[in-house]
Structure formats: C-alpha cells, structure tokens
C-alpha cells in the first residue's frame, strides 16, 4: 500500500491546468491543496527534513498556516516527529500524522505540481 492509498489521497490536474486534491480526511486534503506552489512545498519539506534529522531547533517557525477564503488551516511540525493539522474553526479536532508520512505525501505532491519541460519529457521518451 502506498502512502497515498493509506490516507485515501488523490491528486488531479483539471482541464484548466489547476490542481486539486481529495483525501479521506477533508482537512488533510485541503491542507495539501493550499500548498500549490513549488517554493512553499519545498520550504515545508526542508523544515520536515530538519525535524527528521533531529535539528528541530533550526526550524524558524514550525507553524504552517494558510488561508483559503475565510478559512484558516494550520499544520504544525512537532518536535516529537509528528505533524498536526487542524482547521481554525474546529481547533478541538486535531489530526496527528507521522512526520515521515507527511514528508512522503508532500514529496509526491511536489513531483506532481512541478512544471515539466517539454524538452525533459522528450529526452525521457528518446531514451526508451
């Protein structure tokens, strides 16, 4: 079972070129969705790597929050190698994930949203 299957996560690219995410846990899917730009995802992954390498003290801010309309979703990298996600309007509902799982989820997401060059894809085809 892949990490995406474990959490019922599906990535989509719509006909208009935009990305979408669905997950068994709505807050997890929304949290992934609001990080659609490559630089932000890479920064999050860099902080996760610091925490996984016992360098939590080097993380400038372990709180990763974003607004989606009037809603705010917050992800927190914890020093016990877990990651909490909650929706601002229901702070009593916190879902905790292993940090290793979040790294794999966001690494896969990053690969999915990264722009691909036509030349790079052509080179891959020619190597086959």
Most confident of 43-47, 60-64, 119-123: 43-47
Please give the torsion angle defined by the CA atoms of residues 51, 52, 54 and 56, in that order, rounded to the nearest 10 degrees.
Answer: 0
Decide if pLDDT at 34 tops 80: yes
CA atoms of 124 and 109, how far apart (whole Å): 21
**pLDDT confidence of residue 113:** 95
Q: Is the dihedral of CA 49, 97, 39, 115 positive or negative?
A: positive
89: containing domain: 3-127
Asked if 60 and 77 touch (Cβ cutoff 8 Å), the reply is no
Decide if pLDDT at 122 tops 60: no
Q: Is the dihedral of CA 32, 38, 43, 46 positive or negative?
A: positive
**pLDDT confidence of residue 119:** 57
Provide the whole-model pTM: 0.85
Percent of the chain with pLDDT over 90: 67
- pLDDT band, residue 85 (cuts 50/70/90): very high
What total of structural domains would you count in the chain? 1
**pLDDT confidence of residue 39:** 95
CA distances from 98 to 80, 81, 86 (A): 9, 7, 15
The two tokens of residue 74 are 């917050």
């Amino acid at each position: 079972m892949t990490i995406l299957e474990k959490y019922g996560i599906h990535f989509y690219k719509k006909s208009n070129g935009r990305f979408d995410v669905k997950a068994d846990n709505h807050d997890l899917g929304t949290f992934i969705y609001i990080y659609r730009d490559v630089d932000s995802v890479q920064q999050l992954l860099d902080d996760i790597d610091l925490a996984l390498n016992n360098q939590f003290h080097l993380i400038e801010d372990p709180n990763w929050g974003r607004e989606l309309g009037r809603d705010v979703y917050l992800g927190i990298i914890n020093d016990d190698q877990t990651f909490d996600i909650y929706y601002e309007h229901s702070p009593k509902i916190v879902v905790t994930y292993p940090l290793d799982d979040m790294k794999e989820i966001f690494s896969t997401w990053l690969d999915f949203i990264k722009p691909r060059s036509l030349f790079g894809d052509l080179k891959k085809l020619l190597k086959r």
